[in-house]
Amino acid sequence: MSKHRMLRFFSVLFAVALIASACGNDSSGGDDAAPSDAAPGDEAPSDEAPSELAGTTVTVTGPERDESEANAIQIALDIFADANDMTITYTGDADWEANINTQIEGGNPPDISIFPQPGKLADFARDGSVVPLSDAAAAATAANWTEAWTVFGNVDGVQYGVPVKTDLKSLVWYQPDRFAANGYEVPTTFDDLLALTDQMIADGNTPWCVGIESGQATGWTFTDWVEDLMLRTAGAEVYDQWVSHEIPFNDSRVVDAMTTVLDLWNTEGAVFASGGSIAATAFQDNGEPLVAGDCMMHRQASFYAAFFPDGTAFADGSEGAVDVFYFPSIKGDSPVLGAGTLAAGFNDNPATMAVLEYFSTPEYAEARQVAQTEGKDGGLSGFLSAAIGQDTSVYQPLEQSFLEILANAEVVRFDASDLMPADVGAGTFWTEGTSAVNGDITAQEAADAIEASWPS
């Protein structure tokens, strides 16, 4: 600690006076002082909860910056802010992953940030940047969420994060009409799924739409497939060992899962890639071919509803409507691959903790869902929350079926690449996976390279 502090001390002495004075006064209200530094007058008796929060300001940042999403978060937060006469501002940041590092390093983090990756949250928790939840906030989180979800915000036995959003990834999108016209049945086991794939190829249909291109995050679709397969072939226990690096990344079970995915994708006639090859096809470009009939199925998360062409109907029984089925399990344990976001605080001010407590409530989830549905003009919101005690009527039928899958899941596991260290989870797992999909290297070579990149 001392060496690091010493460096900081001298680097700040060098720092630019103008910049210092320009940014010094925008957030120095009280988010920085250690408790011992607080002026005596601050410790007013706090019998009435609202008065304690009145006049405070809490800043929240997160990676969700799409207008409808950011607005919905802001609207949901404003409900709490107005009730307590305080100010909460949400800022969506396109480059959140890089900027949050810089903000922490510069000693100027927001009060709360929304993490899409529990791995990153754990890193920050261990180096002390993120603070544990207050007792009240932790209790509210435990009451409003099942342990399957709260565990992702738990670092070394201490609760740091509050789940605020849930994505369901083990889904296959399809058109019931087209299935009916061809006499296909929704598969309930993985073998059925493979048999159906073969059947479709034999019938001259293309079973799958796959695309893994996603700009800076190219490859994540592939990691999702591998994770879903890992959960099914190796089981949740091995999955956890894989995530925590208790087994090496190039363990045969991981390589097998990768090989299974690659073999399926490389089967002649199995995949329609609208961009010419899987690696060249943007993940967003799979909705249109599915509706157009270029392929029959597309495995993608619950938020994918947003990527179908305008006017697509969902699960309402109308002609051409798109529906989902559960990506079937192999061992009958119905595992669900999920993802989501977690809110965590960078200081333990009462206002920060009160907002975190609010984040955990079903009221927040409902408010955001309502606002986001409105933002999409009544379409599917793309938002989902597994908070306990929500009024499910705010969700549309398709979204309610997502909630049902979540409720029936015996095993829920978080997206592994979000849990792994960023070097791997947002690095080599994507890039080496992309190389393997592109046919430049084999699954074994990719797994070896990823294992070699795991930070020691």
Partner 1 sequence: MDKVLSTLISVGVTVALSLALWVGANVLFDQARNNWRRFNAVAGAVVGFVLLSILHGNRLLVAVGPGPDAVGTLAAFVWPAALGAATFGSTAWYLSGVDGPRHRLIAGIATGTVVGVVVGALLRSAYRPGFDLAALAIWTAALSGLGALISTRRGRPAVHGALVGAALGSLLGGFGSAELGAGNMVGAIAGATFPAAAFGARIGLTNNADERGRARIDSGSRAYIFLVPSLFFITAALVVPTIRTIYLSFLDDRSENWVGIGNYTDVFTSKTSFDISNWPDIFTSRLFYLGTAMLIAGLAVAISTKKRDGRAVELGGPSIAPLAIAAGLLVFATFSVLRGTIMNNLWWVFTVTVVSTALGLAIAVLADNTRFESVAKALIFMPMAISLVGASIIWRFMFIARDSSKNQTGVLNSAWVGLGRLSTGRGIPTLLASVALGIVFLALAVKVARLLTTGKLTSLPIPMFALFLVGWAWVRFVGLVGDGLGGVVISSDGEVIAKPVLFVQEQPFNSVWLMLILIWIQTGFAMVILSAAIKAVPAELLEAAQVDGATESQVFWRVVLPQIATTIGVVVTTLIVLVMKVFDIVKVVTNGNFGTDVLANDFFAQAFQFANRGRGAALAVILFLSVLPVMYFNIRKMQQEDT
The CB-of-48 to partner 1 minimum distance in angstroms stands at 17
How many Cα neighbours within 13 Å face the side chain of 367?
19
The CB-of-434 to partner 1 minimum distance in angstroms stands at 5
Question: Between residues 216 and 393, which has the closer beta carbon with respect to partner 1?
Answer: 216
Edge-to-edge order in the sheet of strand 271-272: 271-272, 208-209, 297-299, 171-174, 323-326
Closest CA to 1 of 121, 124, 127: 127
325: alpha, beta or left, given left = phi > 0 and alpha = psi -120 to 50?
A: beta
DSSP line for 319-369 = TT-BEEEE---SSSS-EEEEEEEEEEESS--HHHHHHHHHHTSHHHHHHHH
DSSP line for 284-298 = GGGHHHHHHTS-SEE
Question: Between residues 37 and 147, which has the closer beta carbon with respect to partner 1?
Answer: 37
Instruction: Output the CA–CA distances (angstroms, integers) from residue 431 to 345, 440, 447, 453, in the order listed.
Output: 31, 11, 11, 11
The CB-of-449 to partner 1 minimum distance in angstroms stands at 7
Question: Between residues 42 and 404, which has the closer beta carbon with respect to partner 1?
Answer: 42
The CB-of-68 to partner 1 minimum distance in angstroms stands at 19
Question: Between residues 9 and 407, which has the closer beta carbon with respect to partner 1?
Answer: 9
Question: Between residues 17 and 202, which has the closer beta carbon with respect to partner 1?
Answer: 17
Two tokens, residue 2: 């001392």
Question: Between residues 248 and 427, which has the closer beta carbon with respect to partner 1?
Answer: 427
Is the distance from CB of 316 to CB of 396 less than 8 angstroms? no
Question: Between residues 98 and 195, which has the closer beta carbon with respect to partner 1?
Answer: 98
Question: Between residues 24 and 389, which has the closer beta carbon with respect to partner 1?
Answer: 24
Question: Between residues 238 and 449, which has the closer beta carbon with respect to partner 1?
Answer: 449
Q: Give the list of residues 6+ apart from residue 62 with CB closer than 8 angstroms, or none.
A: 73, 90, 91, 92, 93, 96, 113, 114, 115, 341, 343
Give the 3-state secondary structure of residue 390.
coil
* 323-326 and 171-174 beta bridge pairing: antiparallel
Q: How far apart are CA 314 and CA 320, in angstroms?
A: 9
The CB-of-70 to partner 1 minimum distance in angstroms stands at 16
The CB-of-354 to partner 1 minimum distance in angstroms stands at 16
DSSP line for 409-444 = -SEEEE-HHHHS-HHIIIIIHHHHHHHHHTTSS-HH
The CB-of-430 to partner 1 minimum distance in angstroms stands at 8
Interface contacts to partner 1, rule CB under 8 A: 1-6, 9-17, 20-21, 24-25, 28-30, 32-34, 36-37, 39, 42, 55-56, 97-98, 101-102, 107, 123, 127, 215-216, 218-219, 272-277, 279-280, 294, 421-423, 426-427, 431, 434-435, 438, 440, 449, 455
Q: What angle do CA 284, 286, 292 make, to 5 degrees?
A: 135
The CB-of-395 to partner 1 minimum distance in angstroms stands at 34
Give the 3-state secondary structure of residue 200.
helix
Q: What angle do CA 362, 367, 341 make, to 5 degrees?
A: 65
Q: How far apart are CA 126 and CA 132, in angstroms?
A: 10
The CB-of-432 to partner 1 minimum distance in angstroms stands at 10
The CB-of-308 to partner 1 minimum distance in angstroms stands at 18
